[in-house]
Structure 1
Amino acid sequence: FALMNLTGTANVGAILPLLAKENPPVPLISPFTGADLLREPPINHVFNVRASYGDEVEKLVQHLTTLGVPRISVLWMNNGFGKDGLAGARKSMEKRGLKLHSDAPIQADSSDVQQAVQSLSAGEPDAIIMITAGAPTVTFIKAYRKVSRAARFYTTSVMGSQSTIQALGPDGVGVVVTSVVPFPWSQSLPVAREYRDVLKKAGMQESVSFIGLETFINARVLVEGLRRAGKDLTRPRFIQAMESLQHLDVGGFEVDFGKGVRQGSRFVDLTIIGTGGKFTR
């Protein structure tokens, strides 16, 4: 009937034609990717909750330029995800009348990590925005730290998994990570408290994470869409119901769809990896 929480730009891109072939098309709710291929132009049966990669990179560039950081470079994974992020970084800089200091690609298997390190470190950047996921994030930071400790690293939300942070170890301290949902440990935000309460009841209170809160929010959005669609559920009725989720308050987190609007949130925040692999604000 519908799909939810599909993960990864390449995976989602591969399945999109299959969803569109169905009559009516299969709704895709809250995929775990910020890629433009789901957003520009909007796809009628695809509802994005999380902010785009462009939104995340814009937040990083806004932060760095506000601080007056002069030399901003980009490391980008050599695939659709990385190219989207690089284009977003250039766009964000250009609208401020600025240019990137430098950029370098890296393969998904990190086979060219030394080349990427040499390319970027030669220009002595003050900050490196990393449009990477998984192994390249870890291998690059560790390799770069051996050459220079001058640059600070800024990464997108896809880096924020606990396994990646554990793999970085002490080299991860000080890395800035974007988040597309609020701080899961917030004491003031209702949806964060509710999420933690659910985990506690399941005996999983140690499993609090950004990806967990995002999944929780996505599930709340899906359930509200199904509720509004009513008992006689069809795909067209479900899509209409999802469109009706305008200014939906999910425990203090707003999701706003509508006619022709398939981007539910543009929320982006910044967090920092502290000692022990714990996030701080």
Structure 2
Amino acid sequence: MNKMRVLCTAVVLALGTMSASAQILIGQTAGMTGSVAASVNETIAGAQLVIDAANAQGGIGGEKIEVLRMDDAFDVKRASENARVLIEDKKVVALFMSRGTPHSQAIIPLLDKNDVALIGPSTGAMVLHKPVQKHVFNVRSTYQREAEKAVAHLLTIGVSRIAVVHVTDSFGQDALEGAMNGFNKAKATPAATVPADRDKPDYAGIVPKIAAANAQAVLWIGSGTAVVEGVKALRAAGSAAQVVTLSNNASSGFIKQLGSASGGVIVTQVFPNERSIGHPMVKEALALARAKGQNELSPAALEGFASAKVLVEALRRAGPKPTRAKVLAALESIRSLDLGGGLEVSYSPQDHSGIDFADLSIISDGKFKR
């Protein structure tokens, strides 16, 4: 009898081990706490809608997708170390949705060393598009296109005195280049160009420069709470300048943090209106969200949703027991993948850019409106 119990116990343990191993491990490092936590956690929620739906249908070849997430608090060094742990220790088959330009750049040497794909980094940095990074597969549009569109819009409606505040890192320099493209095409110049430290912006020094330039509008290139506190400082100083910022701040959390200062702030967008229920991708995402008791989507959630659709498609194409090499090959094979409503993603060895879409929204009554 004891032998039988031992045997049964061994079988149960073996089955438990098989069940635990029947998983496809994906790694993610992002600022789940810290200055960008609001938008990061909304992108995660949007991505999980797709992953949970795929797992509910049996996963990929009978294997469930599990995302191992590590918080880097939007710190570049922590992002790099997290990526190393995920790749070298946890043996993930791919990385997914890192957040931040310098953070994603810091991960690239690890991707190249270990031949691992990074799918859908949550940054629109041109440096991840050109020259082509072999292991980086972008989903969203570029910051340069967003910034150029924002400047062009302001100039078109007669706003000529535009100040640009930009964070002093690779993200800020990248988006600034896009803004300057907009000025140059219109043969215009910014009223002021003001650098800002990423972690500790000196609002007492920044805001007077905007005021001295008599700016009608401010394109504020930064992330999360750094932009929130900047807008509040600007309003506290009595400035009524139109504020424009980029899609990395397109989250419900950003609006909540702005509070009474949110009204009229323009935010560029890289996905369709999250309330356009006639749009196939939005309709699909909203149906999955409502099944979980969530009645609304945010632009950040849509970004996560779109990126996860690319992830799941790559895993399906990779076939049973996907490896790092199979996932890379599968990604390279994607041509005209319609995420819904004509939002297409195509990759090739010469091009790892994703969706080419940019739009503008304005915050009104606590919501993004277009």
TM-score (ref. length: structure 1): 0.93
Partner Cα distance (1:96, 1:257) in 2: 32
Describe how 1:101-120 pairs up with structure 2 within 5 A.
Answer: 101-120=191-210
**1:209 partnered with 2:298:** yes
Equivalent residue number for residue 348 of structure 2: 258
Preserved contact between residue 109 and residue 135 of structure 1 (Cα < 8 Å): no
Matched letter for residue 92 of structure 1: G
TM-score (ref. length: structure 2): 0.71
How far residue 254 of structure 1 moved from its aligned partner, in angstroms, is: 1.9
Out of 159, 171, 174, the position equivalent to 2:249 is: 159
Matched letter for residue 310 of structure 2: V
Partner Cα distance (1:78, 1:176) in 2: 22
Equivalent residue number for residue 317 of structure 2: 228
Runs of 4+ in 1 over 4 A off after TM superposition: none
**1:47 partnered with 2:140:** no
Q: Secondary structure at the match of 1:218?
A: helix
Equivalent residue number for residue 67 of structure 1: 157
Out of 11, 14, 23, the position equivalent to 2:106 is: 14
How far residue 197 of structure 1 moved from its aligned partner, in angstroms, is: 0.7
How far residue 31 of structure 1 moved from its aligned partner, in angstroms, is: 0.4
Equivalent residue number for residue 96 of structure 2: 4
Partner Cα distance (2:108, 2:291) in 1: 37
Partner Cα distance (1:256, 1:149) in 2: 44
Matched letter for residue 244 of structure 1: S
Once the two structures are overlaid, the 10-residue window that deviates more, 243-252 or 227-236, is 227-236
Aligned residue pairs, count: 277
Equivalent residue number for residue 200 of structure 1: 290
Preserved contact between residue 121 and residue 148 of structure 1 (Cα < 8 Å): no
Out of 218, 226, 231, the position equivalent to 1:141 is: 231
Partner Cα distance (2:305, 2:177) in 1: 31
How far residue 19 of structure 1 moved from its aligned partner, in angstroms, is: 1.4
Identity among equivalent positions (%) equals: 40
Larger Rg: 2
Q: Secondary structure at the match of 1:74?
A: strand
Matched letter for residue 116 of structure 1: I
Equivalent residue number for residue 51 of structure 2: none
Preserved contact between residue 130 and residue 154 of structure 1 (Cα < 8 Å): yes
Equivalent residue number for residue 79 of structure 1: 169
Equivalent residue number for residue 183 of structure 2: 93
The two structures, once aligned, show a CA RMSD in angstroms of: 1.6
Where does structure 1 lack aligned partners over 5 or more consecutive residues? none
Preserved contact between residue 107 and residue 136 of structure 1 (Cα < 8 Å): no
The structure-2 alpha-carbon separation of the partners of 1:54 and 1:111, relative to structure 1 and needing over 3 Å to count, comes to: closer
Equivalent residue number for residue 245 of structure 1: 334
